[in-house]
Amino acid sequence: MTRTFTTIVVSGAMLIVGLLSGGVAWALWNDDDPVSTAVIATGDIDLTLDATSTWWDLSGDVAGTPLEVDSDFLTVPGDTIAFEQPFSVTTTGDNMRAEIDVDVPSLTDVAGTLASDIDVTYTLLDADGGVVGTIDDIAAGTPSTFELTGADDGSAAYTLRIVFEWQPGSADRIRVTDIAQLDAVEIDLRQVRP
């Protein structure tokens, strides 16, 4: 054998070994299949105030109460009136838990003075008129949180009722032709973790 022939044989053997180790001639079976893109859907949380709110005369000493009243109603000492704001809550999500935060500020007159002769309380009512939570007649100026049970999926109706009870012992014609105002009542719906 000649040196050239030996070099060619050794080079060829090395080429075959290289090809085999590189997988060109030595084939292991394989297959692939692309994974379909998964769609991740999200839930929702929404609070919607009803367009219609109502005022009521709840005075116990007035015949026919409760009576719905309008903006022309002029209140006097001894009156109990209520404002009702219906709203709906929609929650969707497998792990959805929600709470409603309500903040009814204290009543002030137009000068910003606290109206101490008018008691203001509020209550959150469900669609059947039942009290949500364990407390009703919460004093204005006291923020509260109400847990919505069974809020995983669906919608529910609620009403925020704010009651104004003007003490009958107001003397010296206090608040004659005056206006009292309730600023920035807030109803917030928020998600909480289970």
The 10s digit of each residue's pLDDT in 119-154 is 888 899 988 999 988 788 888 888 888 887 655 567
C-alpha 99/C-alpha 147 separation (Å) is 4
Q: Which two tokens stand for residue 103?
A: 């903040």
The ranges assigned to domains in the chain are 1-31, 44-192
The 10s digit of each residue's pLDDT in 3-35 is 666 666 556 666 566 655 555 545 688 888 888
Q: How confident is the model at residue 109 (pLDDT cuts 50, 70, 90)?
A: low
* E-only strand ranges, the chain: 44-49, 54-57, 67-69, 80-92, 97-103, 108-109, 118-126, 138-139, 144-148, 153-166, 180-181, 186-192
In contact, 171 and 116? CB cutoff 8 Å: no
C-alpha 116/C-alpha 119 separation (Å) is 7
C-alpha 20/C-alpha 22 separation (Å) is 5
Fold of the 44-192 domain: Immunoglobulin-like (2.60.40)
Portion of the chain with pLDDT greater than 90, in percent: 10
Please classify residue 154 by burial: count the beta carbons closer than 10 Å to its beta carbon, then call 0-12 exposed, 13-18 middle and 19+ buried.
exposed
In contact, 160 and 194? CB cutoff 8 Å: no
Q: What is the mean pLDDT of the chain?
A: 78
Q: How confident is the model at residue 160 (pLDDT cuts 50, 70, 90)?
A: very high
- Residue 154's φ and ψ, nearest 5 degrees, are 140, -165
